[in-house]
């Protein structure tokens, strides 16, 4: 696929919208809408040894306008300009939960929904947490909830945890933590 | 959070962009960008008994402009107006792989990235597949790949499978198929 031209439709606070004119592999041409996003980091925060028996982890419940209600999420946020994804994960963990992590382990990077955005989220697992003060951004309204891993898996199975990065992060950590 | 007003910035082929003016829980007001999406279905297609020993499944490799290359995905696509999500899953499976499924099992519904879009993807697991002719849309360029579940898990662990819905779908099916 070849990019022939691009048109900026909207420059926003979180996202930009472009319409790219491309040539497809079969030689035809067309327009593709693409949301440009700077990327984000997210972190599965373990309060006890993740390799132990049914460890505890920290979830946040956050009001999301797009979900029209409160949903479960892991701590996450956008990369600042030039910011290292691991630093971003540590910063967001601290801002949203007040916790600092002794150790941060990279899990994987996901495309959240590659049909229309280039957004990537870098997923980490945090261990050795120390609780402190949180420093939330003005438009973040959230509460913290401590759950066991088995309870988190149950919440995923029952459809109570519905956020894509949260499901991917917890199942990844649960499946591959040994 | 209360919606005070909304402004349509862009009406597109796949997505619409609104800027919503809202009142936050603390009484302050602000603008939130939101990509409105009609929702989608995706399906983890098992070629052999998913409860058997290391079952086979079908993945697609698809060029994604937003990912700037080919990525692994499970079959997926947007809901037509008024379409039942399960019907959409069957239709997309048939269009993208040529397969019809004897049985379709609902797994869960995910918000792909609720920070800026209301897009939901309904995830299913398909079994009892019969191969036939595919009928791809004009802008879909993809190839099929048969992998064992253990290989798919390895591809997730190694970061070769990076699509959020695909990771969530496969790990969900793998974790909760018994």
* DSSP string across A45-112: EBSS-TTSSS-EEEEEEEEEGGGTEEEEE-SEEEPPTT--HHHHHHHHHHHHH-EEEEEEEEEEEEES
A22: nearest CA partner in chain B: B65
Residues 53-82 on A with a CB inside 8 Å of B are 63-68, 71, 73
pLDDT band at A24 (very low <50, low <70, confident <90, very high): confident
Catalytic residue among B95, B140, B145, B160: B140
- Segment A85-90 shows an average pLDDT of 98
**Subunit contact A12:B25, Cβ cutoff 8 A:** no
Domain B40-176 has CATH 3.40.50.720: no
A12 touches chain B (CB under 8 A): yes
The domain locations on chain B are 2-36, 40-176
- Segment B157-178 shows an average pLDDT of 93
B172 touches chain A (CB under 8 A): yes
pLDDT of B109: 98
B9: nearest CA partner in chain A: A10
Distance (Å) from the C-alpha of residue A149 to the closest C-alpha of chain B? Answer: 13
B118 touches chain A (CB under 8 A): yes
Cβ atoms of B84 and B161 within 8 Å: the answer is no
A52 vs A7: CA distance, rounded Å? 52
How high is the ipTM of this complex?
A: 0.95
Distance (Å) from the C-alpha of residue B46 to the closest C-alpha of chain A? Answer: 19
Tell me: the pLDDT tens digits for B27-72? 999 999 999 999 999 999 999 999 999 999 999 999 999 999 999 9
What SS3 class is residue A172?
helix
pLDDT of A147: 98
Residue B66's φ and ψ, nearest 5 degrees, are -70, -25
pLDDT of A88: 98
B113: nearest CA partner in chain A: A112
- For residue A174, which residues of chain B lie inside 8 Å, CB to CB? 175
Cβ atoms of A93 and A115 within 8 Å: the answer is no
Tell me: the pLDDT tens digits for A98-155? 999 999 999 999 999 999 999 999 999 999 999 887 766 666 678 999 999 999 999 9
CB atoms closer than 10 angstroms to residue A53: 9
pLDDT band at A177 (very low <50, low <70, confident <90, very high): confident
pLDDT of B137: 66
> Where do we find the tokens 């939101």?
B34
A and B: number of Cβ contacts within 8 A: 192
């Amino acid at each position: 696929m070849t990019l022939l031209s691009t048109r900026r439709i909207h420059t926003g606070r979180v996202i930009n919208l472009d319409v790219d004119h491309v040539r497809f592999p079969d030689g035809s041409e067309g327009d593709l809408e693409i949301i440009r996003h700077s990327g984000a980091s997210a972190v599965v925060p373990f309060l006890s040894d993740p390799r132990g028996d049914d460890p505890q982890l920290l979830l946040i419940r956050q009001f999301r306008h797009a979900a029209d209600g409160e949903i479960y999420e892991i701590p996450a946020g956008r990369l600042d300009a030039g910011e290292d994804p691991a630093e971003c994960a540590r910063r967001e963990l601290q801002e949203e939960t007040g916790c600092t992590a002794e150790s941060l382990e990279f899990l994987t990077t996901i495309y959240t929904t590659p049909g229309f955005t280039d957004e990537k989220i870098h997923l980490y697992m945090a261990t050795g947490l120390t609780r402190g003060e949180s420093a939330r951004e003005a438009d973040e309204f959230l509460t913290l909830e401590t759950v066991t891993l088995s309870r988190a898996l149950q919440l995923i199975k029952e459809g109570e945890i519905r956020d894509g990065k949260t499901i991917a992060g917890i199942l990844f950590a649960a499946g591959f933590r040994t």
